[in-house]
Chains A and B, each alone.
Chain A
Amino acid sequence: MFYGTELSSRLMLGTAQYPSPSVLRAAIAASGAQVITVSLRREGQAGGEFREIMAQSGCRILPNTAGCHSAREAVTTAQMARELFGTDWIKLEVIGHADSLQPDPFALVEAARILSAEGFKVFPYTTEDLIVGERLIEAGCRVLMPWGAPIGSGQGLRHRAALAAMRAHFPDIPLVIDAGIGAPSQAMAAMEMGFDAVLLNTAVARALDPVAMARAFGQAVSAGQLAHIAGLMPPRDMAQASTPIFGMAELV
């Protein structure tokens, strides 16, 4: 449950960088995503068409504060987004460094506290740091979104052991892997580990065929979720025959 909302598809899809609006439209549909992320910018071209795509997608809108480097910028952006998109959901990004796009955890917690007090449902883009996670929850967040790898890098789950520890540390908080996913197998691995959802953009938008890749990610996330629910077998050091020995013929 994400702030009381149940989502049958656990893929959240970004809407930037697609080769054309029609490809974006088709990719959203093919992915099966029920949540799409959007942003606020100075009006450029094709703004009207994008509004139409958002409305027709039937998806829940998750506006972001991408590009903000301070708590104040992020708070103002979130307030503008709430009015414009008519949702109190906000993907809170406060960037700490222009090259790594790593979140600034101090400003993130500050902004999360202000926004939660104003009634926002904050989805914070954070690291796998457990103490930052705890502070965000204290600030009012009921979802955490740790990065898989730096935004747009496609490196997958770069700190897998730390992410597994985070999953274990916050058993009751929905955790979304946000950013860094490059391949469906990586998204599936995150779901198999018990993460609640995966949020990605570049891996689909920059694929040779974004619509087919959107479908692939939708299936991978769904398969990973099912595998987690089904319960993965524990790995073993040694081989163990799967075919029974009992009843085997003597042929020598």
Chain B
Amino acid sequence: MQIELNGAQIETRATTLAELIAEQEFEATSVATARNGAFVPQAARAQTDLVASDKIEVLSPMQGG
């Protein structure tokens, strides 16, 4: 299905957020996730089903002021 990951349209076979993290080779414990603007805790990723055209953000620690 087609979803938006970090602003880019991608095709994925993942059905849950946890599967998407694995499929896209993110380090699961080094990122924080949100689905359609709402925070998804690490423990809830496996129960978070993906739906076509979901907007997923996977964020990492970065420099900031």
Residues of A in contact with B (beta carbons under 8 Å apart): 14-18, 24, 37-44, 47, 50-51, 54, 63-64, 66, 72-73, 76, 79-81, 83-85, 151-152, 201-202
Contact = CB atoms under 8 A, between A and B. Distances in A.
Nearest to B29: A84
- Contact residues on B (Cβ < 8 Å of other chain), bracket: 20 to 34
22 contacts: A16-B65, A17-B63, A17-B65, A38-B61, A38-B64, A39-B62, A39-B63, A40-B60, A40-B64, A42-B59, A43-B60, A47-B60, A64-B64, A66-B64, A76-B37, A76-B38, A79-B39, A80-B33, A80-B59, A81-B32, A83-B39, A84-B30
A79 B40 CA distance: 9
Given A14-B64, A83-B42, 4 more contacts: A17-B63, A39-B65, A42-B57, A80-B59
A85 B64 contact: no
B39 A76 contact: yes
Contact of B63 (A38, A73, A202): A38
A15 B59 contact: no
Contacts of B26: 43
A80 B59 CA distance: 8
B31 interface: yes
Nearest to A47: B60
B38 to A, nearest CB: 6
B58 A83 contact: no
Interface string B25-65: 01000111110011101100000000000000111111111
Contacts of A79: 39
A83 B7 CA distance: 22
Interface of B: 6-7, 26, 30-34, 37-39, 41-42, 57-65
Greatest chain A CB density within 10 A among B37, B41, B59 is at: B59
A16 B63 contact: yes
A247 B64 CA distance: 62
Given A84-B31, A84-B32, A54 B38 contact: no
Contacts of B65: 14-17, 37, 39, 64, 66, 151-152, 201-202
A17 B64 CA distance: 8
Given A40-B32, A76-B39, A47 B6 contact: no
Nearest to B26: A43
B34 A80 contact: yes
B24 to A, nearest CB: 10
A63 B26 CA distance: 21
Nearest to B5: A42
Nearest to B64: A39
B41 A84 contact: no
Instruction: Give me the 3 closest cross-chain CB pairs, A-B, nearest first.
Output: A39-B64, A14-B65, A201-B65
A40 B37 CA distance: 14
A202 B63 CA distance: 12
A151 B64 CA distance: 12
A42 B60 contact: yes
Nearest to A51: B61
